[in-house]
Amino acid sequence: MKVGLLKEGKLVMAEAPEPQLSGGDMVVSMRACGLCGSDIEKIRGHYGATGRIGHEPAGIVRSVAPGVSGFSPGDRVFVHHHVPCYTCEVCRAGSYTFCPSYQKTNIEPGGFAEAFRVPPENVGRGAVLPLPPSMSFEEATLIEPLGCCLTALWSTRFRPGDSALILGLGPIGLLYLRLLRTAGAGRLVGGDVSAFRRKMGEASGADRTFDPTREPVDASGGFDLVVVATSATAAVARGFTDVRPGGTLNLFGLPPEGSQLPVDLQRLYLKGVRLIPSYATTEHGTNRALELISSGRVPVRDLITHRVPLSDLPRAVELAAQVESTIKIVVTA
């Protein structure tokens, strides 16, 4: 079968054996898998967590191991690639995505494959979600990124009526913006260097958008919440400037390895800013994301600007750099 892999730091299209069942697992035929910014960073060599790519997959159950209940061949599903153990000290403290076992549970060989194996941990801990008939496979690829936005938002102490600034209006920034509007945000502003993405921000519910490299933003005392939804480290310094005293700065975008915090730490201390990094999501987030998408409360279909077949995965990566015409790229089988 065809599969997109990272080998020696290079993206390659390869032939791999069909995944086989063992115990407590399932095999899913991929129908759509989103291309995430973290996939692109791995391909560019800026993120060394793992060489496996493709973690926003949806498809059709091909086979189920004996003893697995609740799923049958032919079921339409979304699959979350990581699950925590829910028993260690980190999980008992509620920091599920930082569980030592979290990244060890992963679909094989990744989501950019004609089929992939879902390990028993993921099957047994609720990472496989049945899709409603009304939800397309392409829309289902946005479940994981929206779940990540939810997990981030829950960590920020956001309250309805709070003002918010989103720096970076790529797929995540636009999802986060739509989520904030649905959650009852007050003044909502988005910043991006791309005119195309700023226009999408306005269509997504922003009261105003601006180019952070060229324009000031009337912060009116600062925003209650500033979300850095870009890997650009300069945006962190910008966010620190625009957050109100005692407000929250949510670091969402993955900075390059070795990046340094570009702010005066004494000012950070005296301003009382809550600096909240957020990483990934769990089944709580993905289930809620599925509800929000399927109900239409957070629409996602218009964010998908490109659909690229699996055999043309390298072209999908090239398209991702075209920020004046691209939002979300979905790879299809």
149 domain residue, yes or no = no
3-state secondary structure the chain: CEEEEEECCEEEEEECCCCCCCCCCEEEEEEEEECCHHHHHHHHCCCCCCCCCCCCEEEEEEEECCCCCCCCCCCEEEECCCCCCCCCHHHHCCCHHHCCCHHHCCCECCCCECEEEECHHHHHCCCEEECCCCCCHHHHCCHHHHHHHHHHHHCCCCCCCCCEEEECCCHHHHHHHHHHHHCCCCCEEEECCCHHHHHHHHHCCCCEEECCCCCCCCCCCCEEEEEECCCCCHHHHHHHHHEEEEEEEEECCCCCCCCCCCCCHHHHHHHCCEEEECCCCCHHHHHHHHHHHHCCCCCCHHHEEEEEEHHHHHHHHHHCCCCCCCCEEEEEC
> Are 133 and 51 within one domain?
yes
Whole-angstrom Cα distance, residue 201 to residue 188?
10
292 domain residue, yes or no = yes
105 domain residue, yes or no = yes
> Are 107 and 55 within one domain?
yes
> Are 126 and 180 within one domain?
no
Residue pointed to by tokens 């509620």: 94
Q: CATH number of the domain at 14, please.
A: 3.90.180.10
148 domain residue, yes or no = no
> Are 131 and 48 within one domain?
yes
> Are 218 and 321 within one domain?
no
Whole-angstrom Cα distance, residue 239 to residue 262?
11
Domain residues for 200? 156-277
Q: Judge whether residue 302 has pLDDT over 90.
A: yes
> Are 195 and 258 within one domain?
yes
Burial class (CB in 10 A: 0-12, 13-18, 19+), 125: middle
Residue pointed to by tokens 């003044």: 187
Q: Which residues pair with 166 in a beta bridge?
A: 190, 227
Of 277, 295, 317, the residue at which a domain comes to its end is 277
What distances in angstroms separate CA 97 from CA 59, 179, 296, one per listed residue? Answer: 24, 21, 27
Q: Which amino acid type is present at position 233? A: T
Whole-angstrom Cα distance, residue 268 to residue 38?
28
When pLDDT is averaged across residues 84-95 and rounded to a whole number, the result is 97
303 domain residue, yes or no = yes
pLDDT confidence of residue 216: 84
> Are 30 and 107 within one domain?
yes
pLDDT digits (tens, 9 = 90+) for 99-135: 999 989 999 999 999 999 999 999 999 999 999 999 9
> Are 126 and 58 within one domain?
yes
> What pLDDT band is residue 221 in, cutting at 50, 70 and 90?
confident
314 domain residue, yes or no = yes
Residue (of 141, 203, 149) closest to 172 by Cα position? 149
Residue (of 277, 252, 241, 288) closest to 173 by Cα position? 252
Average pLDDT for the chain: 95
151 domain residue, yes or no = no
> What pLDDT band is residue 50 in, cutting at 50, 70 and 90?
low
pLDDT digits (tens, 9 = 90+) for 72-87: 999 999 999 999 999 9
> Are 160 and 215 within one domain?
yes
Residue (of 205, 164, 186) closest to 299 by Cα position? 205
Task: Give the lowest-confidence range in 51-55, 131-135, 273-277.
Answer: 51-55
Whole-angstrom Cα distance, residue 55 to residue 331?
11
Q: CATH number of the domain at 219, please.
A: 3.40.50.720
> Are 201 and 217 within one domain?
yes
188 domain residue, yes or no = yes
> Are 21 and 124 within one domain?
yes
Of 262, 277, 292, the residue at which a domain comes to its end is 277
pLDDT confidence of residue 86: 96
Domain count, the chain: 2
> Are 63 and 113 within one domain?
yes
Task: Give the lowest-confidence range in 30-44, 165-179, 304-318.
Answer: 30-44
